Structure formats: structure tokens, C-alpha cells
């Protein structure tokens, strides 16, 4: 891969002052990407106070259903809808030599950084130790033409238990923009992860809000939020984030309590059903042009769908006005 480039946006953006929102890709009834709707969606989100960037292709199942050319088109169409100063991040899958060409293509398409999963080190036969696995990730990071947010998913060796791992990856320099520890419902882990990552002075320690505990997560002092709740409540999550930074504790608690019934509805479902719920709610709130998606052949059961809309009405999570 070529020499890494730090975009002007990354040089000037004050991390910690806003929210990066993950988005869902809109599909029509034939499973084709609605490219005009992608740009429109990005433009609308860019108008919300407190949102300073968008991350695309973040849903694993959806990303797998798209060809590389489509993922790059989504990236470019999203850039078209953003303000020049706003950040654009692209998820490229596992951090390995196989994604080198895609990272290069994201760079040319206008991405400011990429999000990449670190694969399970136990499954790599040629790297038999955790340290060797980390050394491989650090080497790949150094070769990247774009900064990387490394996702350390649930079930992998915890970084709080192995701070030397964070130190080794951070040695890759400015290529490592930050770490995403993934959803973790054990809220006490947030503080541990945050301070471990901050000890190596990375510019961004991305700790997504657990759907069960965004209030606790914000109190920890995170720099950013890539919360799955932002799929369906970007305005509310941006307001929650800003209010927390301003010390408006009562407002933060009020927003948290308002979202609690929706969080409860999301609990206990597998990834596919959760994506379907996100799409149904996002469409109802005028955040997504269509609730359908390529590869999702079944619909939500009528009872769950009715429960979703009833809950939206109960907590006054109404369609967002873009006027």
C-alpha cells in the first residue's frame, strides 16, 4: 500500500466535540442500492448539530451483501452529501493483506479513515502467540494509506488485561487513529478500556455506547461515539453526547430514560433481526428511504412490528423534520 495520508479534516477536527454516526444503506424492493437516497441521507444527517462525521458499511451482514464497487459508490455518494469539513469513515472488514486494495480505493473515493476488524489471533496458524498477532496488525497498519480505527470485538483477548498489546499497536504511529472495543454490557469495563487506550496517547479511543448504558459510557469521558443507537436516533444521541460534554446531567438522564424502552426492544435478538429493527425504525423516522435490504428475505413478525411502532409513539420518537 502507498504512503499514509492524513486528511485536512483529521488534522483540524477536534475529537470529542461531536458524534460520528454509522449509517444503513437504503435498498429498493429489487435489492438495488438507492444511490440518490444515500446522498440525501448523508446531507440530512450533516445538518444535525453535534454530528461531525458518518461511517458507512458498518453493518457486517449488509457489507457482505455489497460488491466492492457498490461499497465505493456508497462511500462517494455519502461524501457528496457531507459538508467539506465533516469526516467520512469506511468499514473495510478484517485487517489483513486482503483489504489492501479496498483501503487504497477508499482513499481515492474520499474517505478520511477506515474501520477494520482485527481477526481472532487464535485462528491464525502462522502466528501462534498473541504478541506475534499484534506485531502483524501493527505492520499492516503502518502500510495503510489511511488512518485506521481497529475494532477489537467481543470475545477477543481484552486489552485491559493486556495493555502491552495496545502499546505495540500504538507504536504504528499516526496510522492507528483509535480503538473500538465493541459492545460490552459490563459497564465497568468501559473505564478500564478508556484509560488503557488513553495511556498511549492515541488521538481517539472509540468506545461505542453500550445500548444498555450510554449514560455510564459518556461519564467515562470517551472521545467519540459510534453507537448502534445512532442508526435510529442520531439526533437524540448527538444531543445526549453534547449535553454530557456540557455537564447537563439532568438533560442527559432525561434523554437516556426516554430511549430506554427502545433499548429494551432491541435486547435479545440476533444480528439479523436487530438490523431489521433498525431499518424499520429508521424508515419510520424518515432516516432511511426504505426498510428493505438485500439478502433479508423475511419480514419482522407482525407482533414485533406493531410493538416497535407503539413504543415509538409512547416515547414520542417521531419522524425527524428536515425542513
Helix ranges (DSSP H) in the chain: 8-12, 35-46, 60-65, 68-81, 100-109, 130-143, 163-170, 188-198, 214-220, 234-245, 249-266, 271-284, 302-314
Instruction: Please state, in angstroms and as integers, the Cα–Cα distance from residue 59 to each residue in 28, 55, 259, 310, following that order.
Output: 18, 10, 21, 26
- Between CA 317 and CA 106 the distance in angstroms is 34
- Which class for 260: exposed (0-12), middle (13-18), buried (19 or more C-beta within 10 A)? middle
pLDDT digits 0-9 by tens, 50-77:
888 899 998 888 989 999 999 999 999 9
- Which class for 229: exposed (0-12), middle (13-18), buried (19 or more C-beta within 10 A)? buried
- Predicted local confidence at residue 1, as pLDDT: 43
List residues bridging with 91 in a β-sheet.
115
Q: Which three three-digit cell numbers place residue 244? A: 454530557
- Between CA 162 and CA 195 the distance in angstroms is 13
> What structural domains and CATH numbers belong to the chain?
8-246 (3.20.20.70)
pTM of the model: 0.82
- Predicted local confidence at residue 239, as pLDDT: 87
Question: Residue 39: how many CA atoms within 13 Å on its side-chain side?
Answer: 8
List residues bridging with 247 in a β-sheet.
none
Stated length of the chain: 323
Collect all residues with Cβ–Cβ distance below 8 Å to 291 and sequence separation of at least 6.
Answer: 276, 279, 280, 282, 283
Contact indicator for 287, 232 with CB cutoff of 8 Å: yes
Contact indicator for 104, 144 with CB cutoff of 8 Å: no
Flag residues of the chain having pLDDT under 70.
1-17, 118-135, 152-174, 176-225, 321-323
- Name the 3-class secondary structure at 85: coil
Contact indicator for 93, 307 with CB cutoff of 8 Å: no
Ramachandran class of 268: left when φ > 0, alpha when ψ lies in -120 to 50, beta otherwise: left
- Between CA 189 and CA 143 the distance in angstroms is 31
Contact indicator for 206, 223 with CB cutoff of 8 Å: yes
- Between CA 236 and CA 251 the distance in angstroms is 11
Amino acid at each position: 500500500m502507498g504512503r499514509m495520508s492524513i486528511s485536512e479534516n483529521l488534522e483540524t477536527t477536534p475529537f470529542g466535540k461531536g458524534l460520528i454516526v454509522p449509517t444503513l444503506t437504503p435498498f429498493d424492493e429489487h435489492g438495488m442500492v438507492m444511490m440518490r437516497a444515500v446522498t440525501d441521507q448523508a446531507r440530512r444527517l450533516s445538518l444535525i448539530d453535534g454530528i461531525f462525521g458518518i461511517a458507512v458499511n458498518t453493518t457486517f451482514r449488509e457489507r457482505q451483501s455489497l460488491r466492492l464497487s457498490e461499497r465505493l459508490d456508497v462511500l462517494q455518494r455519502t461524501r457528496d452529501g457531507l459538508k467539506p469539513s465533516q469526516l467520512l469513515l469506511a468499514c473495510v472488514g478484517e485487517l489483513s493483506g486482503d483489504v489492501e486494495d479496498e483501503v487504497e480505493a477508499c482513499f481515492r473515493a474520499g474517505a478520511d479513515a477506515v474501520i477494520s476488524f482485527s481477526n481472532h489471533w487464535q485462528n491464525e496458524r502462522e502466528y501462534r502467540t498473541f504478541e506475534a498477532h499484534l506485531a502483524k496488525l501493527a505492520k499492516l497498519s503502518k502500510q495503510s494509506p489511511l488512518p485506521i480505527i481497529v475494532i477489537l470485538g467481543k470475545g477477543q483477548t481484552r486489552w485491559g488485561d493486556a495493555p502491552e498489546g495496545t502499546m505495540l499497536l500504538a507504536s504504528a504511529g499516526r496510522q492507528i487513529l483509535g480503538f473500538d472495543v465493541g459492545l460490552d454490557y459490563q459497564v465497568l469495563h468501559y473505564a478500564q478500556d478508556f484509560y488503557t487506550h488513553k495511556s498511549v496517547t492515541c488521538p481517539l479511543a472509540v468506545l461505542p455506547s453500550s445500548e444498555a448504558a450510554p449514560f455510564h459510557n459518556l461519564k467515562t469521558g470517551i472521545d467519540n461515539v459510534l453507537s448502534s443507537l445512532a442508526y435510529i436516533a442520531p439526533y437524540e444521541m448527538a444531543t445526549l453526547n453534547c449535553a454530557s460534554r456540557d455537564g447537563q446531567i439532568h438533560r442527559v438522564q432525561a434523554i437516556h430514560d426516554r430511549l430506554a424502552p427502545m433499548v429494551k426492544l432491541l435486547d435479545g435478538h440476533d444480528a439479523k433481526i436487530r438490523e431489521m429493527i433498525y431499518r424499520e425504525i429508521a424508515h419510520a423516522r424518515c432516516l432511511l428511504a426504505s426498510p428493505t435490504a438485500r439478502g433479508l428475505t423475511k419480514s419482522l413478525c407482525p407482533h414485533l412490528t406493531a410493538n416497535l411502532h407503539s413504543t415509538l409513539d409512547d416515547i414520542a420518537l417521531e419522524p425527524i423534520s428536515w425542513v
